[in-house]
Structure 1
């Protein structure tokens, strides 16, 4: 069985469909279909259950998928030691804010590799455990770490959430940057409509605020950090954001008294414990 055929099989399994895989591979769907049929004929096994455009792995397909990943990883090592290695392609998953903040530094570490990059949005380890990405950026509540025995993890940064405003917010003119929680709650907030900052405690809002105890007046809900920071800068809105985001966008951090709750996270860089390309050794 040719490694190139197995690489196509792996891409179809990851895409859960023929056309999406063909698009990613820059191949004709008919050509990809012929490869899958050739592999199934070779092993005398059905590897996919086909339901319309959705392709799901059979039990035999699942077994071959994991073995193919191993074989492709070994092939990568052989190319490195004996041949001409292919140009590395790095796939990283994470929430929008984590990708935007941490991927540039990851690319700097790999600057000698002349790699290509692909990012995918995910708040957990699902894409990493399915071998859809090489690295995953995830968060956990401070003091905990990712719970997966197949994953190696490395702490990148401790994150504290802060209340922010624009430097021209009317509140700063009236009260300055040191306020009580009651004063803060007089002003409207913009909040995320999905978990753009990663994992939060079950009793917290998507931005980590404890709204059950300190109920805010919500003026806007947005699904990207770029829109959230833009609204904070241009409108009289407050936000509760990771400290790195506040610093990146030069937002005014408020010193808030009278609130005993904080939101703290640890950011982790995760990779598969047993399968990783040679060029990823820089992260060890």
Structure 2
């Protein structure tokens, strides 16, 4: 039984009048008659008998009416569940982020999203940018914030929301804190903290050391927050995001003059992604980050 036949059948049972049913459903009387006859032909039984009082159910019609009511209730529940999901009353949103944007942006974004849609489940997967892009390609995540890696996947949509620079960071108690230019820095004997080499920052660190012909003791760490914490002890340096450490009172940094060290932070999602209300709201929140950055540049 299709949904339209179901509505026509139930309405005729309640009104007992063909014309009243037609008016109630916004259909013509012949259309109502057609659906009832079609239903009777489909099951091979007579569902109604007519008399002066209008349409009354036959015995088999009574049985069908019993099950049709249940189908109608299930259909209404299904439609409500789908609509609730679309409006963010149920469901989930799976977010991903590489290290730097995960720390800088995701806590506030997730808080704002949860305030607007408290009933949906929000999850965050923090991996390197290439790993997040891979999961977005497989649609294992809905969207993500990643640091640029130098290449873009055709199936993914990339929207730049902010830029960042790699700087040489260290503690304010480190001897480098009194040096204003990288050209005056002696890197020999320094311990270099690097994010894992599969990350964009880690890849840059490895390339930079090779270009500078430097051999340094390196410690690879999975967490950029751990790198920041270790820098504060004053015994090491790091090539790290400027945005990540510029507001840390116990850390300082030296900027490189190389413009290639400026990187974009992207909001990324699959081009075929279905966008429900929670996703659209999250996208609006991300756009606000972009607008704030543009206003700072303008001022």
Q: TM-score normalized by structure 2?
A: 0.56
Residues 93 and 122, structure 1, Cα contact 8 Å, conserved in 2: no
Tell me if 1:90 matches 2:93: yes
Q: 1:252 is paired with a residue of what secondary structure?
A: strand
Q: 2:129 is paired with a residue of what secondary structure?
A: coil
Residues 171 and 231, structure 2, Cα contact 8 Å, conserved in 1: yes
Greater helix proportion: 2
Specify the alignment match of 2:252 in structure 1.
252
CA distance in 1, matches of 2:232, 2:79: 50
- Among 188, 191, 208, the alignment partner of 2:193 is 191
Residue 153 of structure 1, CA deviation = 2.4
**1:72-125 deviation line (CA, Å, top 9, x unaligned):** xx98993238x9854342211222332222212322542311243212224231
Specify the alignment match of 1:102 in structure 2.
105
Residue 181 of structure 1, CA deviation = 2.9
Residue 195 of structure 1, CA deviation = 4.2
Residues 188 and 216, structure 1, Cα contact 8 Å, conserved in 2: no
CA distance in 2, matches of 1:269, 1:221: 26
Q: Residues 79, 180 of structure 1: CA spacing in aligned structure 2 closer, same or farther, 3 A cutoff?
A: closer
Q: Residues 77, 263 of structure 1: CA spacing in aligned structure 2 closer, same or farther, 3 A cutoff?
A: farther
CA distance in 2, matches of 1:159, 1:84: 35
Q: Residues 183, 153 of structure 1: CA spacing in aligned structure 2 closer, same or farther, 3 A cutoff?
A: closer
Q: TM-score normalized by structure 1?
A: 0.58
1:3-42 equivalences under 5 Å are none
Residues 163 and 265, structure 2, Cα contact 8 Å, conserved in 1: yes
**1:7-63 deviation line (CA, Å, top 9, x unaligned):** xxxxxxxxxxxxxxxxxxxxxxxxxxxxxxxxxxxxxxxxxxxxxxxxxxxxxxxxx
Specify the alignment match of 2:134 in structure 1.
126
**1:117-159 deviation line (CA, Å, top 9, x unaligned):** 2122242311112121111222225xx67332x3332212111
Q: Residues 105, 79 of structure 1: CA spacing in aligned structure 2 closer, same or farther, 3 A cutoff?
A: same
Specify the alignment match of 1:273 in structure 2.
271
Tell me if 1:158 matches 2:163: yes
Residues 210 and 261, structure 1, Cα contact 8 Å, conserved in 2: no
Specify the alignment match of 1:20 in structure 2.
none
Q: Residues 180, 126 of structure 1: CA spacing in aligned structure 2 closer, same or farther, 3 A cutoff?
A: closer
CA distance in 2, matches of 1:269, 1:146: 12
Residues 136 and 269, structure 1, Cα contact 8 Å, conserved in 2: yes
Residue 183 of structure 1, CA deviation = 2.2
Tell me if 1:227 matches 2:226: yes
Unaligned regions of 5+ residues in structure 1, if any?
Answer: 1-73
Specify the alignment match of 2:24 in structure 1.
none
Specify the alignment match of 1:178 in structure 2.
180
CA distance in 1, matches of 2:227, 2:270: 33
Q: Residues 225, 76 of structure 1: CA spacing in aligned structure 2 closer, same or farther, 3 A cutoff?
A: farther
Whichever of the two has the greater Rg, that structure is 2
